[in-house]
Amino acid sequence: MIELFGADYSVYVRSARLAMEEKGLAYTLTPVDVFAPGDLPESHLKRQPFGKIPALRHDDFSLYETIAILRYVDEAFDGPALQPPDPQDRARMTQILSILDSYAYRTLVWDIYVERVYKTHDGSPADEVKIASALGLARKIISSLENLANQEPFLLGSQLTLADCHAAPILNLFQKAEEGETLLKTAPKLSRWLEIIRSRPSFLATEPSQTS
Ligand SMILES: N[C@@H](CCC(=O)N[C@@H](CS)C(=O)NCC(=O)O)C(=O)O
């Protein structure tokens, strides 16, 4: 029995779900809304003391931190391997995961997508200063990922890996912002990859219930 705790709008939750979908695993998603007003339930803080999503339970084993969850999902279950056997390819995958966590999530999702698309839904103004200050780093992130992206169809070539699972939700949101759309036009390999990923059953099955 695999239970994931989190919300379908979360890019980190979607990364974990993409890996489970690609492995062909049955799991349940138990809703935890980290952005709901008020304190997070104690039960979630016991699972994830930092108050983030996702968290995973597999029988009596509990785990939090998305990269750990991604690796566990790949290594503990049957199904297609989501990590390359070659040490250099595996290092490349880990490098991409680290770039996504260290730089891309905050810059591309919070500083640009949330400001430009999510916050302005109800007519609130975007923080133009925040967006403008994020653009330099966004350019560096996109050009670095474009340089590291191998060849079609996936980021590391013929095998879909955890790097694809983690990059897809972040870059998918980023492209919805006009700045993201413009920047991704300068990255043909990433743009093509995003099209391929978006048409996969795993991506379609994890579409958030409220899309932007
Ligand atoms: N290091 C955590 C980060 C997860 C994360 O930041 N999740 C976001 C949702 S996409 C969250 O829970 N944010 C709530 C908050 O920052 O208060 C992981 O890898 O799982």
H and E: helices and strands count for the chain: 9, 4
Most ligand 1 atoms within 8 A of CB, residue of 34, 50, 101, 162 to mutate: 34
Supply the pLDDT for residue 156: 96
* Other CB atoms within 10 A of residue 148 CB: 17
Fold designation for 87-204? Glutathione S-transferase Yfyf (Class Pi); Chain A, domain 2 (1.20.1050)
Selection from 39, 17, 48 nearest residue 162 by Cα: 17
Give the residue, by CA position, lying nearest to ligand 1 atom 16.
52
Supply the pLDDT for residue 212: 55
Any ligand 1 atom below 6 A from CB of 53: yes
Mean of the per-residue pLDDT values for the chain? 96
CA 37 – ligand 1 centroid, Å? 16
Give the residue, by CA position, lying nearest to ligand 1 atom 3.
52
Any ligand 1 atom below 6 A from CB of 40: no
CATH number for the 2-76 domain, one of 3.40.640.10, 3.40.50.800, 3.40.50.970, 3.40.30.10? 3.40.30.10
Please indicate, yes or no, whether the overall pTM of this predicted structure exceeds 0.85: yes
Q: Report the pLDDT averaged over residues 104-126.
A: 96
pLDDT at 151 over 80: no
Show me where the domains of the chain are located. 2-76, 87-204
Supply the pLDDT for residue 211: 58
Any ligand 1 atom below 6 A from CB of 34: yes
Any ligand 1 atom below 6 A from CB of 65: yes
pLDDT at 26 over 60: yes
Any ligand 1 atom below 6 A from CB of 10: yes
Selection from 16, 35, 22 nearest residue 210 by Cα: 35
Q: What b/e readout covers 88-125, taking b as 16+ CB neighbours within 10 angstroms?
A: ebeebbbebbebbbebbbebbbebbbbbbbbeeeeeee
pLDDT at 210 over 90: no
Most ligand 1 atoms within 8 A of CB, residue of 53, 111, 114, 118 to mutate: 53
DSSP conformation class of 86:
S
CA 102 – ligand 1 centroid, Å? 12
Q: Report the pLDDT averaged over residues 141-152.
A: 93
CA 86 – ligand 1 centroid, Å? 30
Q: Report the pLDDT averaged over residues 19-26.
A: 98
pLDDT at 110 over 70: yes
Cα gap 14→22, rounded to integer Å: 12
